[in-house]
Amino acid sequence: GESVGLHLPTLSVQEGDNSIINCAYSNSASDYFIWYKQESGKGPQFIIDIRSNMDKRQGQRVTVLLNKTVKHLSLQIAATQPGDSAVYFCAGVNYTGANSKLTFGKGITLSVRP
Amino acid sequence: KAGVTQTPRYLIKTRGQQVTLSCSPISGHRSVSWYQQTPGQGLQFLFEYFSETQRNKGNFPGRFSGRQFSNSRSEMNVSTLELGDSALYLCASRRPGLASYNEQFFGPGTRLTVL
């Protein structure tokens, strides 16, 4: 089955620096990838997505990069702020028409130092 | 627009009991998915319901079941609880289709503790 995993369990960055969170996936048939942010006591919140036919997508202060050759996904957060402190998950979707399943990575904690 | 609501928010049960968790999706969202979140295994997909039918299922034993009602509200049930079932159970709703994952919203979860 598909596995989506993260390289590092925790990441500590200085406020104002850029953050890079990495993720590896095993299922080359994944159609779609998503990054989620989960704050304490809340459910995961969508950050940004990317389809498998793209290699880069930018949002507000966030960029997702997809390298299908090495099955690697990364989330870049520009000018990291204290409010970015949370657990981040990557997830892959294998879409088969009416049925699809979202497979999450383990999660990485981002801690922003003031 | 109201978000995804889950009840109860916290639950304590003992081994062998059964439990039912409830999820009310965002209005207009007909697809409801359930996930189990634990420190050791992370977020794992349980099942997804659409139009009162289970569309997809994760790798969980038959003790885990669910259903969806005609108003899209969903319940999940865990029978014969085990200590390892202690987790945060998350519900998410969206419109069906690949493009709607960017509009999938999660509820705050139900924290289940099995003693």
Q: Identify the band that residue B99 occupies on the pLDDT scale cut at 50, 70 and 90.
A: low
- Give the minimum alpha-carbon distance from B98 to chain A in angstroms, rounded to a whole number: 7
pLDDT of residue B46: 96
For residue B26, how many C-alpha atoms fall within 13 Å in the half-sphere facing its CB? Answer: 15
CA–CA separation, B104 and A24 (whole Å): 22
pLDDT of residue A63: 98
- Give the minimum alpha-carbon distance from B54 to chain A in angstroms, rounded to a whole number: 10
Contact between A43 and B108 using a beta-carbon 8 Å cutoff: yes
User: What's the whole-number mean pLDDT along residues B50-78?
Assistant: 95
Give, for all 114 residues of chain A, the pLDDT tens digit.
344 544 448 899 999 999 999 998 877 778 889 999 999 889 999 999 999 999 999 999 999 999 988 889 999 999 999 999 999 999 998 876 656 788 888 889 999 999
Least confident window among A95-104, B18-27, B38-47, B86-95: A95-104
pLDDT of residue A4: 52
Contact between A43 and B109 using a beta-carbon 8 Å cutoff: yes
pLDDT of residue B17: 98
pLDDT of residue B62: 96
Q: Of B63, B95, B91, B93, give the one whose Cα is nearest residue B75.
A: B91
User: What's the whole-number mean pLDDT along residues B46-53?
Assistant: 93
pLDDT of residue B59: 92
User: What's the whole-number mean pLDDT along residues B11-18?
Assistant: 98
pLDDT of residue A1: 37
Selecting from A31, A46, A89 the residue whose C-beta is nearest the C-beta of B98 gives: A31
B39 at A interface, C-beta within 8 A:
no
pLDDT of residue A98: 59
Selecting from A31, A42, A89 the residue whose C-beta is nearest the C-beta of B43 gives: A89
Q: What does each C-alpha distance from A88 to A44, A99, A105, B8 come to in angstroms? A: 8, 25, 9, 25
User: What's the whole-number mean pLDDT along residues B57-85?
Assistant: 96
The pairing of strands A10-14 and A108-113 is: parallel
More confident residue, A5 or B68: B68
Selecting from A32, A43, A99 the residue whose C-beta is nearest the C-beta of B106 gives: A43
pLDDT of residue A7: 46
A34 at B interface, C-beta within 8 A:
yes
CA–CA separation, A67 and B81 (whole Å): 42
Contact between B43 and A34 using a beta-carbon 8 Å cutoff: no
